[in-house]
Structure 1
Amino acid sequence: MTVALMWEARSVPGRGAELLAWAQERVRELPERPLRRETLRAPQDRVLVITWWDAPYDADLPELPEPEGDLVARPVHRWRFESLGGG
């Protein structure tokens, strides 16, 4: 089974580039390598990281942490999905 973990944060105004760099560094520091990973950005200084894992849906998988300090404007949003395949 393939599980996708999604991590989405919104920086305080004007700190989107810093949040993006922070997230890219944290994903490189994960203790295990995902099958695939992708980092995306959107207006309003939002950053989305998706990692794909070969694991059961409820597996204990490494996730990006909550940024420390005043980098984010609100708590991080997290979702977990089961892949149904491409096509």
Structure 2
Amino acid sequence: MTVALMWEARAPEGRGPELLAWARGQVLPQRPLRREIFRAPQDRVLVITWWDAPYDAVLPELPDPEPELISRPVHRWRFEPVAAD
């Protein structure tokens, strides 16, 4: 089964590039099947990691960045696929 972990954070205004660099530099203790990194308006950064694991498996997640790099708590979600086109 494939599991997708999503991690999303918002930087203080103007600090999005720093948060993006921080996210890109994070090394996980295990290598996911795939890792995608996105940026969005309002200095937001989204990281999706894909894992070959059961839905309830304990998987490594990105940590919280330093408090000065985020303007609100990090959001995390776990998804499992149900259909693909």
Shorter-chain TM-score bucket reads over 0.9
Equivalent of residue 72 in structure 2, options 71, 74, 81: 74
Q: TM-score, normalised by structure 2?
A: 0.96
| Dislocated runs of 4+, deviation >3 Å | none
In 1, distance between residues paired with 2:46 and 2:63?
A: 13
**Partner residue, 1:22:** 22
Q: Provide the residue aligned with 1:83 in structure 2.
A: 81
Q: What's the offset of the Cα at 1:68?
A: 1.4
Structure 2 residue ranges without an equivalent (≥5): none
Aligned residue in 1 for 2:38: 40
* CA positional deviation for 1:85: 4.6
- State the secondary structure of the residue aligned to 1:70: helix
Q: What is the Cα-based RMSD across aligned positions, in Å? A: 0.9
SS where residue 18 of structure 1 aligns? helix
The residue aligned with 2:51 is: 53
* CA displacement at 1:86 relative to structure 2: 2.8
Q: Deviations over 1:20-52 (max 9, x none)?
A: 0000111xx101110111000100000000000
Percent of residue pairs bearing the same amino acid type: 74
TM-score by length of 1: 0.94
